[in-house]
Amino acid sequence: MADMQRKRRQSHRFSLMAFLLVATSVATIVRLGYLQIREAPQLAHEVVRPFTASSPVPATRGSIEVKLDNGQIYPLVSAEGSNFEITFTPGAIPDQSKLHQIEEQNAVRLSSILLPYFQDYWRANTDSTAHSYLIDTEGRAFTHLPTRTDVTSLLLYNEAYDMPSSYIRTLNAFNENLPTTTLVPIDLPTQQQISGMLDQLPGVDLAAGGSSQTFAAQGNTLMGKDFMDHVVGNIGLAPPAGTDKRFVANLNMPHGISGLELYYDKELAGQPGKQQVVVDHNGQIIQPLQVIQPPKNGDSLLLGVQPSLQQVAEFETSQLFKKVMQKGGKPQSASIIVINPTNGQILAMAEQSPLYSPNGLYPPIQGAYNPGSTAKPATIAMALSEGIISPDTSLYDSGSYSFGGTAVHEWGPGGPTGLTITPATALTHSSNVFLSMVGDQTVRFEQRKTGSSYIGAVGPAVSLLTRYDHAFGLGVATGIDWPDESVGVADAIDAQAAFNSGAIRMPFDFAIAGFGQIVQYTPLELAQYVSALATGERVAPHFVEALQTPGGKILPVVPKVLNHVPVSSQTLALIRQGMVGVTQPGGTAWTAFVGTPYTVAAKTGTAQTNGGRGADNAIFMGYAPADHPQIAVVIAVPQAGLMGADVAQAARDLFDVALQVKPADQILGHPPFEPTGTPDSPATKGGAA
């Protein structure tokens, strides 16, 4: 009986639940039908009804400018536009079997947008004086204006720098998966248009290049690339901090991503303002209402670079590259830096490399090389300052010096074998034998001081030399106003370990580090070092001479003294005497400086690479006038198969132009390029030639 009552109650519950479920479903269907039929117009209106929101007001980004020889201030990069950088990375395509198909698809999607810009660039850069070529995927230079079907190749071009296309193809064989880059002048709205297409362009990325569209638009490619574009850097697109994601498509604004654009991004970008806007349901701004807070426009940068001197530096790197190739060599790069040693102002910086890429390594600041005998002044300074040798110390150069069971030989038949060498003449004649004696005596100095064994004293000797190298700016950051600076290696044993992983602390390692055969320094470090030898102070190098506010206020850059070198004025005078001897009869670079109306203090360097199996590095550093330094020059051509003296003539040309002994056109063979017209004229704006 109880079971029957329980079953009856359960049956009632199930019936009730079924009834409620059916009733709820019917009510829902009726309500949806009502909304669909009776309320649809009103709901649709509610969905698309515009609404008011707060939106950033873009600030005008500051320009980057140089002062021309005629005194005119001219923008390298301005708010009017910039070069547009498209990077295609083949290795980013997961399915490599579809690589060429994807390249073609990308080209078709971009061609209608980019073709006019490519044609403008091509017209501006194919006259008889141009030195850049657009190279197709087979290594052939285009001989016609690019057509729609050429855009695939244009997206993969490399700049040839007057080198045979066969050489380019050889290099490309080892770089198939590396990014390749195309630069064309383009405006910001077009950049934003392509930015919205990136999800349809596999392997493609973009940024606004910081290089000079104003120079490039008039055919000034400066030996194959735009004016200091790697130094100036790139800008990309991003919304201001705190922006509602719905407005990103409307409010992408430039920000620095490399070079000076990145280092000075805060100053250049300014501060966005705020405005009330009307937006639709897609987040598109359809009507601005009022500005709540006006934007603060960015400051402009005035570079201290001298355009005509920069062009000479570009020309000289090209000539050095050709010299190496004519000797059958395969140069890695050629770098030139011209700097004011008294305040660190960079007056010119040029580089040449076989495959230039704005996103690749920048050799003057990021390439570290064995400096050869240019390291000797710092080693002599250490030994004199520590009392290891005296100004009167002398040694007969027999051609070799043996210590620690190893013999170090003189640098070649032209070396100072048979001469009695002093600290000053060791620099003039670049005596490896004298520097080996200094290395031996330094180890013995530390042995006496520490009471250790001869081998055990090598470590302290390394630390002592490293301390002096750092004080001169070798193996430490220079403090330049540019991001991503590389730092060389001043510790002899650490540097040796980079080439030979089982290296031990041997006296031989220390000795050859003292004359630059193991340690590695960047050209920029050498520029700071030679400036410190000239002035006794280590000053931070800088590109920017002054900032200018939107209101016109000039804010000069104050030179930053990082430290005074820890040597006496008497020691510096002796070292300078030896460096002056380098450019006098009998010195290692004297033939390049015959007849100069000024005196140059210099040091040449020739360094072995790959344990003597690779081509030698050729290095030059010097300053002038020797008694009143105004200009310092550093030239580095790694793995060139040349000697330091072989690059001295290029330094002579730079000194002559910088000190106004010769006009630039005598070196270039034509007047240095300067834009005609004003920055606002059609000839110097955008991508039109």
Determine the distance from the C-alpha atom of residue 81 to the mean position of all C-alpha atoms in its chain, rounded to a whole number.
21
Tokens describing residue 46: 């509610």
C-alpha–C-alpha distance, residues 472 and 302, integer Å: 28
Cβ neighbour number for residue 620 with a 10 Å cutoff? 32
CB distance 577 to 380 below 8 Å: no
Q: Give the CA angle between residues 243, 244, 246 to the nearest 5°.
A: 130
From 483, 486, 554, select the one nearest 264 (Cα to Cα). 483
CB distance 657 to 646 below 8 Å: no
C-alpha–C-alpha distance, residues 326 and 314, integer Å: 19
C-alpha–C-alpha distance, residues 488 and 480, integer Å: 14
Integer angstrom CA distances of residue 90 from 35, 140, 218, 529? 53, 20, 32, 41
C-alpha–C-alpha distance, residues 208 and 254, integer Å: 8
49-106 per-position pLDDT tens digit = 565 666 677 788 888 989 988 888 888 776 554 455 566 666 677 887 887 777 767 7
CB distance 109 to 200 below 8 Å: yes
The set of residues, in sequence order, having a beta carbon less than 8 Å from that of 500 and lying 6+ positions away, is 611
Residues of the chain with pLDDT under 70: 1-55, 78-91, 104, 107-108, 111-112, 114-189, 191-192, 206-226, 237-253, 277, 279-289, 354-360, 490-506, 516, 609-614, 644, 674-689
C-alpha–C-alpha distance, residues 172 and 165, integer Å: 10
Grouping H, G, I as helix, E, B as strand and the rest as coil, residue 383 is helix
- The per-type count for the chain, helices as H runs and strands as E runs, is 23, 24
Determine the pLDDT at residue 222. Answer: 32
Q: Which DSSP helix (H) or strand (E) runs through 122?
A: helix 99-124
* Helix segments in 125-258, DSSP class H: 151-154, 165-172, 188-195, 213-216, 229-232, 248-251
The set of residues, in sequence order, having a beta carbon less than 8 Å from that of 405 and lying 6+ positions away, is none
Cβ neighbour number for residue 154 with a 10 Å cutoff? 25
CB distance 296 to 59 below 8 Å: yes
Determine the pLDDT at residue 36. Answer: 57
Q: Which DSSP helix (H) or strand (E) runs through 246?
A: none
